[in-house]
Amino acid sequence: ELQDKEATEEDIKVTMKDMGLERARHWGWPNVYVFTKALGEMVLIQEKEDIPLIIVRPTIVTSTYKEPIPGWIEGVRTVDSLIVAYGKGRLPYFSFDLETVIDMIPGDMVVNAIIVAMKAHSNQTADP
């Protein structure tokens, strides 16, 4: 419809983002990211048939703790961009409350948790 009205690519992009956010909020999700993650889980649950399914929902995943090497980052996403900027001296300081808990987990710990979950549930049959 937007193309028929000769909207620019930028206008189409902005409109689609706005529509996605509107739909996410309509269904009770704060943003499109968590909405699409929830949709993906729903599809997996619906289509899994007799295949066992484990869903792991980590918090913000950051660089690694130990494996393959400490601090390994492939691409800079989420909070890692702040950490890298601070480490390179581009961000001189962080202003925060020392009592604040930052809910993050290193990527290798997430992978290890997934492996443990798979082993722990390896002999279980799928729910009907």
Tell me if 44 sits within 8 A of 55, measured CB to CB: yes
Q: Catalytic site residue 33?
A: yes
Return the closest-CA partner of residue 46 out of 56, 33, 35, 55: 55
Query: Out of 13, 17, 37, 66, which one is annotated catalytic?
Result: 37
Strand positions, DSSP E, the chain: 60-62, 104-106
Report d(CA 79, CA 119) in Å as an integer. Answer: 31
Catalytic residue among 5, 13, 17, 33: 33
Residue 39 CA, distance from chain mean position: 13
- Hey, which residues are catalytic here? 33, 37
